[in-house]
Amino acid sequence: MDGGLCHDVGMEMWHNPACSKCAGARASLEEARVPVRLRAYLEQPPDADELRDVLRRLGARAWDVCRTGEPAGVALGMAGWTRDDATEPRWIEAMVAHPELIQRPILLLDDGSALVGRTPDALDEAVRRAHG
């Protein structure tokens, strides 16, 4: 034990600077004094291995965090794609090629957990986990 001191956990936030949900998440985390490293994932897109790791951390499948209504998703016809183990690599490949398809903001906590920070409840949970 370390004298009962609480050690905050930081996080990386995959964000789009033009996204209002990302701005709201940044403000909520800042207000709660949670250390955040911002990653503009449209400028620094993940590779397939990194995206698979994030999906594992989220406990999600690729289509769970895919914005199929984005122009690239519509052009690819993703809303009609099959959602199963055999087709998940296709989803990941599309999301790596078109990172705007990835839901945002994604919060990657330093403790190994992750959340999609789009709702007040998700942000509250991120703060709770960050403060231990």
CB 110 within 8 A of CB 14: no
19 catalytic per annotation? yes
Residue 12: name the closest of 30, 49, 37 by CA: 37
Q: How far apart are the first and last CA of the chain?
A: 14
- The single-letter code of the amino acid at 51 is L
DSSP string across 24-56 = HHHHHHHHTT--EEEEETTTS---HHHHHHHHH
Catalytic residue among 6, 19, 22, 66: 19
Q: Which residues are catalytic?
A: 19
